[in-house]
Structure formats: structure tokens, C-alpha cells
Structure 1
Amino acid sequence: MATKKDMWGLSRRQFLHTVAAGAAVAGGATFRELAWAQDSGELVVSNWGGDWSNNVIKALEGPALEQKGVNIRRDLAAAPVRKAKLLAERNLPRGTIDVAHFTDADAYELQIQGALEPIDYSRVPNAAHLLPGMRSPYFVPWMYSGVELIYNPDKIKTPPTSFKDLMNPAYAGKVGLIDQIYFNYLYAYALVGGGSMQNVTPGLAKLLELKRAVQPRIYPSHEQIAAAMSSGEVWISANYKARAAQWTAANLPIRGAYPSEGGIAIQFGVVIPKHARNKELAYRYINEMLAPVAARQISTLTYYAPSTDHAGLPPDLLREIDFTEAQRKQLHYVDYAYAAKNQPQWLEWWNKEIKV
């Protein structure tokens, strides 16, 4: 006996897509809107967990996608775990992740190892509003910031001025570091030790010196160190300017201070893994991510500066999250090739020498 698909040449799902397409055309929808309407499958998003994922849900995934019928399944883990997964799947005929959140340096590492799809910007209309220098062939940035000093003003009355201040023996037992952003400490202490973004070797010795001097507490994530600083368990650390601004606005006893060595710049955004299952929805995700509403909302929630020029942030918020012209000139940018070549060894060293 013939099935319905045999008789009509269409499955029930395909038939419903066709009906939806016809309705869209009748209503004057664009061909891009039509394609998006036809794609009602599942979208798998790889991301960090914790408040980062929660904020992405609030700013983008909930209102712009899930509330409009997109079924999102989230794959949440630390960046090294998620990178390993994408690398393991790069030669499969079909991957399990459709869109993945990473830093600019992580994205470069994945790209040179053949794990990413090139970005077709013709499918991302809002990319026309990316700030100068932020269009990459494999990575779409959503927000940016830089690493600076953060401290508890109730415990440290004079604001710190250098990454060297974390090495002050007076702060023994009160210095906190975050395992999640370990690489930024290598860069920061490379600068302290006379190295550079292309030579972190001097930073390894300085981090060992810091460990001997203050025995830093290592926390897995931003949330944990914020709680530790609020309780007085930790007095000083280094973190993104955006985090300091976010916690200050939340009335936590945490303030930011720009280091004399200059901040460590970073961008956060998304990639499309090689052989992603649902590229149509992945591009819809990226376009919605760059839309003014989502860009404005994520900056309001996280205090990271938007990567686009049409987010329409209130001037007072922009002053809180952006750097001054002088500070921008001092920002240090990651050498992607150098980082990609050395990150596995850096992570091993960090785990053996600092994290233990």
C-alpha cells in the first residue's frame, strides 16, 4: 500500500512547509523571510553556560527566535570542551552544532584547523552595520571589551594601577583568578615581565612569582569570583571592563581600574561549524544577533560594547562600557596565529603550575 508520501511526493512536514510558503508569498514576504519561514527545524547552539547563556537567551534567543517558533537546543560547556567537539566533528558528513559562541582567538584556532564554514555575509543584512575592522571571513563579533583590574573599594582604598598590584604580598590570600579566562593572565603578566602579545614566556615566570607571593584563589567562572569579592573573600583580580561595569551597576563592591600596561582586547561572537545541520537558521540567528534590539539588550545586560553602529545605546551607558580614546590606543590585541599555536601548551602549563 502506498504511503501518503509516495502518493503526493511530499511528507506531511514538507506539505506544511509548502503551505506556509504560499501564505508568506501571498502576504508579500521577501524571499529571505520565505526561506526562514520554511525552516522550522531545530537549531543547536553551543555556548558558555551560567549568566552568559542566560543573558543571550534574554537578549536574543528568547524574544527573536524561540518566541517566534524556533526550537533551540543548547550545548553548554567551557570553550576548550566545545572546541574539541567541533574539531572532532569537522570531517563528519554532518555535524551536531549549528552555531557556536567563541572569542575571536578561539574562532581563529578553529578556522585554521578546518572546523568552520566561511561566513556568507550576503545572508546577514545587519552585518552592514559592523564597526570598521570587525568583519571576519569566519567569525561574526557581537560585542567587545578588554581586561583591566577589578577590586573591592571597601578593602582597597587606593585604586590599583598595574597588573603588578595583584602580586602585592599585602593581598596574600585575597587575590582571585578565573580559570575560564586563564589566557588573559598569561598576556597581562607577559606585559609585566617585559614580553608581548607575541611572547608570553616572561609572563609564565611572573605568574609563578605571583603564586608564591599571594597564593591566588582560582575560581571556575565569573559568577563565583563576583560572589567571592562581594563577601570579602577576594579583594582584587583582573577581568573584563564589562564585568566590572556590570557588577558596579548591580551595587556589588567591585570597581574597575585601567592598568598602566594597557588592557587586553577581546571580541565575543559566533561561528558556523563545518557541516552544520541547519545553516538557514544559523544565518537567521546571526542576523537577529546583530539587529539593534538584540545588540542594545545584550549591552544593557552584560555591559559589553556592541560590535555594530546602530544599536542606539543611551550615552550614559556607552560611557560606562567603552574605553576612552587614550585607553583604546593602549589596548593590546591577540596575535591569533601565535595564540593558536601555543594554547594547548599554555592550558597544560596553567593546569599544572597555577591551577593546582
Structure 2
Amino acid sequence: MTKLIDRLSGAPTRRDVLFGLGAAGAAGAALTLPGRPARAQGGTLVVSNWGGDWNERTVRFVEEPLVESKGIRISHDLGMEPERKAKLLAERRLRRGTVDVLHINEGDSYEMFTQDVLTEIDFSKVPNYGDVVPSLKNRPYFVPWLYSGVVIIYNRDKVPNPPKSYAELFDTKWAGKVGLTNQLYFNYIMMGSLLAGGSVTDGEAGKRKLVELKETVEPRIYAAHQQLGAALATGEVDIAVNYKARGLQWRNDGAPLAIQYPEEGAIAVMFGAGLPKRAPSSELAHVYFDAMLDRKAMAGLAGASFYAPANGAAELSPDLRELIDFSPDQAAALKFPDYAYVAKNTAEWLEWWNKTITR
């Protein structure tokens, strides 16, 4: 991991071309950006985030060097998404909330915005937003940060002929060898929907396919990414359906893993942050958003997490970009969910998953 970070250097990427932001465009955008915000004069910022290695990297590359160095004290509210979302939904009744920055995935950001939890962000106060690839600037209430896709991760020593598609995971020869995580329940329902009808917007068909998977393959279900990664490393399972970035992390940690991009096209996922409507320190939140998109910070995060950065000018080496990015064909095949549809169904999906799949 350290070696990857040490190799970082600026270079245009395939994604610069794919998303319409080449090296010249990125440089031009940088030249036209407004001045950087003045150093903040202290204050406290409450950041709601996942825990574990995700938060550790956020602290290491963003919060300590770029936010706390300005005299801003950060207090963390850590937990899984359902619990953190529920807290903010309850705070809608309050005149003043308790959270300033909400780390969240793009789909849940849409849900939280439509439910009057998140508000639009003043991107004029986020200069680094000018470097974000244009096609990712599609939510006025969401700071795009890191993205990946749901792929097939397998032990190359034990699986010489891995499944090349989501559909091949349903073969009984993989019984007891496939691992899933509760954290990706909505992605798995989308996967089932894709297999059932060619789109990711038929949740009922998706659920039926997951019941079929449970009956034929009996996948092992793990609470979180870390537990699934450990199961792959110890040989408890040989195959996982998870983010490409997670598979690369686990391989970098020494597990004998390889990545298979599914023939149907990987389901895309993007992470970022939002501004709660009742945030007590919204001005400091904008300082935080700008730090998230810092070119060097994003390079460090990409080298440590293997997620592709939303900032097209992130200072990555060609080798690292080749590793974490998708080929042009793969990028074109990514399945971006219909988040309006997801928002209407995610609560019911989670309840169904807990009652039907995890038991």
C-alpha cells in the first residue's frame, strides 16, 4: 500500500476522457476557480461517518492535515448507515441538529434530500469542486468523492475458473463458497433484478433471484466488509461479491485474490458527503467538503483504499490509475442505479433482507 502511495504522480487518465475532463480541461478549470477560503478561526465540526478503516483513512488523509490543521476541532459520530440516517431523520423536528457533515452513498443522499434531511450545498464555497469530473456533478446536495463497482472477487489459488458473470454465481458448484455482506443488501437486490429482467429497477424480481441464490448456493452472510475480507483470507469462502476497491484492498494486504468484472456490467456505487439542513456549523462543513476533494488528499485516499477518485485532477500515478480504474468498455457498462426508485424501496428492502436472507 505504501509503495503505491509513494509512486503517485500527476497524469491524465482514461476516466478523464470517458467523463469529458482531459488534462487541459482540468488545468483550465483550476485556473478559473475562485480563491481558496481563508483559514478557519477554530470551531467544532461534527462528522457522521462509517467507522473502521474507512474513518481511519478519512482522518489520515483529510481531517488531520486539512481540517484540524486550521484549528477546527472534529467530533465523530460513527456507525452504520441505517442508524446514522435514522438519527438525522429524527432530528428533522429540531430547530438545530447535531451533525454538520454526513458521509453517505449517493443513493442514500437522494433519499435524505427528498426527506428534508440534506440541503443544497453552496459549491462556490468548495473551490476543489471545479476539478470533479463533469458527469459526476449530478446532485446539488451531494459531494462526490470515491466510487467503485460491485464485482466478483475470488481466491485465485482455489478457483482457477472463476464465474465470469453474476449469473454464474448461481451454479451449485459454488455452494458454501460464496460470501456476501449485509452492508451491500441493496446492491445484491439490484444484481438479482439485473439478472431477472436486464435492469436494476425491479426489486421484487431481484428478491426472488436472491431467494434462489440462497436455496442453491447457501452463501455465507457477514456483518461487514471486514468480516467478509477475513473470511476470504482464511479460506472460509472462496468467492465474494463486493466492491472492486475492497478486493484490491484485501489483495494488497496479502490475500491471494483476483478480480472478475461481471459480464452483465458491474453495479456502480459512489460515496461522498452531504450537508444536513439543520447543521449547526454549515460554514465549517464547506471547508470540510473542499478538503475532501483536495488533489493530494484524493491521491492518498486512492492509494490506500483503491477507490477511484471523483476529482479528475487527483495526483495519481499511471500505475495506480490502471489498477483502480475501469477500462473504457467496463466504464460504459457500469450500472448506475435509479436512486429515486431505490429511495422508495430501500427501507423495505432492508427489512426483507434481514427477515429472508440473513436467517
Fold-level match, TM-score > 0.5?
A: yes
1:253-264 map, 5 Å: 253-264=256-267
Mapped contact 1:175–1:216 kept (Cα < 8 A): yes
| Larger RCO (CA under 8 A, 6+ residues apart) | 2
Mapped contact 1:142–1:267 kept (Cα < 8 A): yes
**In the aligned structure 1, how far is the partner of 2:70 from the partner of 2:230?**
36
Partner of 1:147: 150
Partner of 1:222: 225
Matched, 1:236 2:249: no
1:286-305 map, 5 Å: 286-305=289-308
Number of equivalences: 324
**In the aligned structure 2, how far is the partner of 1:154 from the partner of 1:294?**
35
Partner of 1:109: 111
Deviation readout 1:193-240 (Å, 9 max, x if unpaired): 225122122221111111111221111111111110010001112111
**In the aligned structure 2, how far is the partner of 1:151 from the partner of 1:66?**
40
Mapped contact 1:145–1:266 kept (Cα < 8 A): yes
Mapped contact 1:166–1:237 kept (Cα < 8 A): no
Calculate the TM-score normalised by the size of structure 2.
Answer: 0.87
Q: Considering only aligned residues, what root-mean-square deviation do their CA atoms show, in Å?
A: 1.4
- Cα deviation for residue 154 of structure 1 reads 1.5
Which secondary structure state, in structure 2, belongs to the residue aligned with residue 162 of structure 1? coil
Which of 26, 45, 54 is the matching residue for 1:43?
45
Deviation readout 1:71-92 (Å, 9 max, x if unpaired): 1111111111111111111231
**In the aligned structure 1, how far is the partner of 2:36 from the partner of 2:162?**
56
Provide structure 1 residue ranges, at least 5 long, that are not aligned to the other structure.
1-29
Partner of 2:356: 353
Which secondary structure state, in structure 2, belongs to the residue aligned with residue 309 of structure 1? coil
Which secondary structure state, in structure 1, belongs to the residue aligned with residue 197 of structure 2? coil
Which of 324, 328, 331 is the matching residue for 2:331?
328
Mapped contact 1:195–1:201 kept (Cα < 8 A): no
1:96-245 map, 5 Å: 96-135=98-137, 136-245=139-248
**In the aligned structure 1, how far is the partner of 2:229 from the partner of 2:151?**
15
**In the aligned structure 1, how far is the partner of 2:43 from the partner of 2:320?**
37
Following TM superposition, the consecutive aligned residue runs of length 4 or more in structure 1 with deviations greater than 6 angstroms are: none
Deviation readout 1:317-349 (Å, 9 max, x if unpaired): 101111111111111111011000111111111
User: One-letter code of the match for 2:191?
Assistant: A
- Cα deviation for residue 250 of structure 1 reads 2.5
Partner of 1:89: 91
User: One-letter code of the match for 1:32?
Assistant: P
Calculate the TM-score normalised by the size of structure 1.
Answer: 0.88
Partner of 1:24: none
- Cα deviation for residue 251 of structure 1 reads 2.3
User: One-letter code of the match for 1:234?
Assistant: V
**In the aligned structure 2, how far is the partner of 1:31 from the partner of 1:105?**
30
Which of 337, 347, 352 is the matching residue for 1:344?
347
User: One-letter code of the match for 2:181?
Assistant: I
**Overall identity of the aligned pairs, in %:** 48
Deviation readout 1:92-118 (Å, 9 max, x if unpaired): 110000001000000000001111121
Which secondary structure state, in structure 2, belongs to the residue aligned with residue 349 of structure 1? helix
**In the aligned structure 2, how far is the partner of 1:174 from the partner of 1:266?**
25
